[in-house]
Amino acid sequence: MDADDILALGLGVTAPWRLVSQRLETTTQPHQLQLEVAADRGALFPCPTCGKPCKAHDFAEFTWRHLNFFQHHCDITAKVPRTDCPQDGVLRIKVPWAREGSRFTLLFEQAALMLVREMPVAAAARIIGVTDQRLWRIVEHYVTQAVGRIDLSWLNAIGLDETAAKRGQTYVTVFIDLAAKDKPVVFVTPGRGKETVARFEAFLGEHGGRPERIAEVVCDMSGAFLAAVGETFDQAAVTVDWFHVVQLFTKAVDDVRRAEAKETKLPKALRWAILKRADGRLTHAQADALAELETSGLLTAIAWRIKEMLRWIRKADGVQAARWRVTHFLRHANQLLADDPILTPVRKALSSFENHLERILQRWTSTHSNARLEGLNGLFQAARARARGYRNTTTFAIMIYLIAAPLGDLFQST
């Protein structure tokens, strides 16, 4: 075995192809290892349509980027024939080391995807020495193929949530399988609201699923979602997840704080203390600000106390207990609410809560964990970071799939 044979093995070159020359180009920076592959003279090639061995009609030269050889970039060139098939005519053949239309070898693409699964695309692109755009195109190809193979014939419980690809704009809606322990994402689509549910219904149909099999849907309180979900999945029990209930009241408390801060001086640390999750770790300043708030006569304190009662409701151990606690909560909240316009956001939150009460209470009868949608937030953050510098709804969706969809082997069918 000589050096050519060793390089050929790493390349995935098989008969009639073999490595015929190798040269290190030192006039470029970085240096380039240039490999030339050729077929044996007179070799027959399978017709790309019927597979019958055919003679070469003519040749054209192509170049592929291959895995770096130590620090050197590596290119492969080969004269690729067109076969002359009596049945199918003159056609360019496929080479065994690259997929059709790609200017990268399969090994290169495989290595690129391994990196992209572990780090931001921009960083992976720097390491392998290609532009972000070219790397994104590779990732998009394999992820799209793999998403096409997702099987939804067993799907019977879904959750959906929306998130912004960029702050405050360009939303995507993500559908998850509530029964999946990990890799729960089954569909990601641009936009939010009604049309995303229609697109999911079409996707479900193309992937072996049926709308009438969906027995449970968990989502937020958006009216557009709820209407579309009700029409599309008419057999499903719809649950508004607790995470969105807490989010609704947290936002109301923050709106009250902001309005009140225009009239009264509030501790600076209060803002983050309010926005942090109930079980989140507070700094000393934040803890002090909260303690001060609890004993103050501020309107923000009223809003905060109402929000904090949600925790007591959530601890109810059954739907009847929950309903009883909600009745007390609403009565108590309405007593606490002073007649000040600054508290309007809390009044609105309470009214949404009442409107959606049956769907909110549904969580106590649901068979699926309702913490699933909350868990998506961490996933969205990770996907945003991986797509940094090149983020739009398409790249964001690809990254969400790559991190959290059951894609299996990305290289199946290539």
Chain residues in the site for Zn ion (CB under 5 A): 47, 49-50, 85, 87-88
Q: Is 37 helix (H, G, I), strand (E, B) or coil?
A: strand
Q: Which is nearer to Zn ion, 30 or 51 (CB)?
A: 51
Minimum gap (Å) between residue 100 Cβ and Zn ion: 16
Q: Do 216 and 368 form a contact (C-beta atoms < 8 A)?
A: yes
Helix (H) or strand (E) segment spanning residue 263: none
Instruction: Output the six-digit token pair for 60.
Output: 């054209």
Q: Which is nearer to Zn ion, 20 or 44 (CB)?
A: 44
List of long-range contacts for 122-131, beta carbons under 8 Å, 24+ apart: 122/388, 122/389, 122/390, 128/68, 129/30, 129/68, 129/73, 130/65
Minimum gap (Å) between residue 41 Cβ and Zn ion: 22
Helix (H) or strand (E) segment spanning residue 360: helix 357-361
Minimum gap (Å) between residue 17 Cβ and Zn ion: 20
Minimum gap (Å) between residue 87 Cβ and Zn ion: 5
Q: Which is nearer to Zn ion, 89 or 129 (CB)?
A: 89
Instruction: Output the six-digit token pair for 274.
Output: 């309010």
Minimum gap (Å) between residue 55 Cβ and Zn ion: 12
CB-count exposure of residue 122 (10 Å: 0-12, 13-18, 19+): middle
Amino acid at 154: W
Q: Do 141 and 400 form a contact (C-beta atoms < 8 A)?
A: no
Q: Which is nearer to Zn ion, 28 or 49 (CB)?
A: 49
> Helices 132-148 and 121-128 meet at what angle, rounded to 10?
120
Instruction: Output the six-digit token pair for 280.
Output: 């989140």
Q: Which is nearer to Zn ion, 6 or 90 (CB)?
A: 90
In angstroms, how far is CA 240 from the centroid of its own chain? 22
Q: Which is nearer to Zn ion, 45 or 380 (CB)?
A: 45
Q: Which is nearer to Zn ion, 49 or 327 (CB)?
A: 49
Which residues neighbour 292 within 8 Å (Cβ) at sequence distance 6 or greater?
267
Q: Give the chain's radius of gyration (CA, Å).
A: 29
Q: Which is nearer to Zn ion, 95 or 138 (CB)?
A: 95
Angle subtended at Cα 277 by Cα 272 and Cα 280, rounded to the nearest 5 degrees:
85
Minimum gap (Å) between residue 48 Cβ and Zn ion: 8
In angstroms, how far is CA 160 from the centroid of its own chain? 12
Minimum gap (Å) between residue 64 Cβ and Zn ion: 25
Q: Which is nearer to Zn ion, 88 or 140 (CB)?
A: 88
Strand order in the sheet with 157-166: 185-190, 169-177, 157-166, 216-219, 237-240
Minimum gap (Å) between residue 374 Cβ and Zn ion: 56
Q: Is 208 helix (H, G, I), strand (E, B) or coil?
A: coil
Phi, psi of 34 (to 5 degrees): -110, 120
Minimum gap (Å) between residue 83 Cβ and Zn ion: 7
